[in-house]
Amino acid sequence: MAALRLPTQLVTRGTLDYHNSSPSSATAASSGRLSWRRSLTPENSISLFPSSSSSSLNRERLIVVPVTCSAAAVNLAPGTPVRPTSILVVGATGTLGRQIVRRALDEGYDVRCLVRPRPAPADFLRDWGATVVNADLSKPETIPATLVGIHTVIDCATGRPEEPIKTVDWEGKVALIQCAKAMGIQKYVFYSIHNCDKHPEVPLMEIKYCTEKFLQESGLNHITIRLCGFMQGLIGQYAVPILEEKSVWGTDAPTRIAYMDTQDIARLTLIALRNDKINGKLLTFAGPRAWTTQEVITLCERLAGQDANVTTVPVSVLRVTRQLTRFFQWTNDVADRLAFSEVLSSDTVFSVPMTETNSLLGVDQKDMVTLEKYLQDYFSNILKKLKGLKAQSKQSDIYF
């Protein structure tokens, strides 16, 4: 069978660029802020690949590259109807992605997981009943075949810590959105960050905001969900170090974050997916209560039954470190991530009232897992296992 050439319904130059046609472009240029623009060229093939490997986001372009995929390669003949229950989860091995996969499978969806080729296969996804396909957002030519036969894309992907932020979170997402548009994907769910529109000085947050706008202008039927923070992230950051009597790192800033259980995020996402009234909307999910770092540490100490060895990093030190890392090309990515840390360490509240969103989704706030309950369950299970291991150790001791 001949290769299927993608109809180009949308070709863009997704660029974080100073040369914006909007009236505010001069302001953006003078302030060093990033912006984006798009251009429609229906006669061309889909525009996917970055023309420069420069680390600067300011003048990047996406050049036109022909993209083809074989329908036979995925055992799907052209014209085959797409089931509304067919979902592609991008970033399926991540903290949120795996919960989306698990919930969708439990609710009867046909789940396909896009994961990067890796030495250790994502066998747990197959064990759950999902189909796993290999692709890489940083290699756009690998994307189209993963979308054949898919109705909805749920995008949970983000770059790895060792990667430049823009590689996956901007260039990869632009390529994915373009492919989704070209292949007629019916719905696209994108996860963003709360308050990303208010912090253009932070590369990751501005990229998220630019991606929101890019998706909105693409014409795809979409839902954008902004998140505040994951409860799961607190386990490695605070709970485990306290149990292991290691240092816990914190700041002296009064930032408050409304952490949310990723299982609740997955549940609400699939409810939103089935509600046509939510198409095109921007939702923000937040946990029942916003917590400071010190409040989280105190809660962990109480549940663990031991004090934490807290090392406090002043916000001023983060600012100085960020400025120093800006001097060197090879530490630019570190500076970008420190910029995000600086926002999280400022006098900011990452939370929103959920009353309107809960009403729209038809859910009850009482059904949301609280941070107290989440951490209590974690520490109860861990301490129970530790007691069991100690008991087994005593039984196996040999005395002479």
Judge whether 174 lies within some domain: yes
Judge whether 88 lies within some domain: yes
Judge whether 234 lies within some domain: no
Look at 67 and 310; give whichever has higher pLDDT.
Answer: 310
Q: What is the mean pLDDT of residues 245-266?
A: 87
Judge whether 91 lies within some domain: yes
Contacts of 179 (CB under 8 A, 6+ apart): 6, 46, 48, 67, 140, 143, 144, 147
Judge whether 124 lies within some domain: yes
Judge whether 71 lies within some domain: no
| DSSP state string for 312-347 | EE-HHHHHHHHHHHTTSGGGHHHHHHHHHHHHHTSS
pLDDT in tens, 203-214: 888 999 999 999
Flag whether the pTM goes above 0.85: no
Question: 113, 114, 112, 111: which is closest to 139 by C-alpha?
Answer: 114
User: What CATH number should be reported for the domain holding residue 167?
Assistant: 3.40.50.720
Distance CA 131, CA 385 (A): 33
pLDDT in tens, 143-191: 999 999 999 999 999 988 778 888 999 999 999 999 999 999 999 999 9
- pLDDT for 202 equals 82
Judge whether 1 lies within some domain: no
Q: Which domain holds residue 186?
A: 81-227
Judge whether 51 lies within some domain: no
- How many separate domains does the chain show? 1
pLDDT in tens, 333-362: 444 444 555 565 566 789 999 999 999 999
Q: What is the mean pLDDT of residues 286-291?
A: 95
End-to-end CA distance of the chain: 76
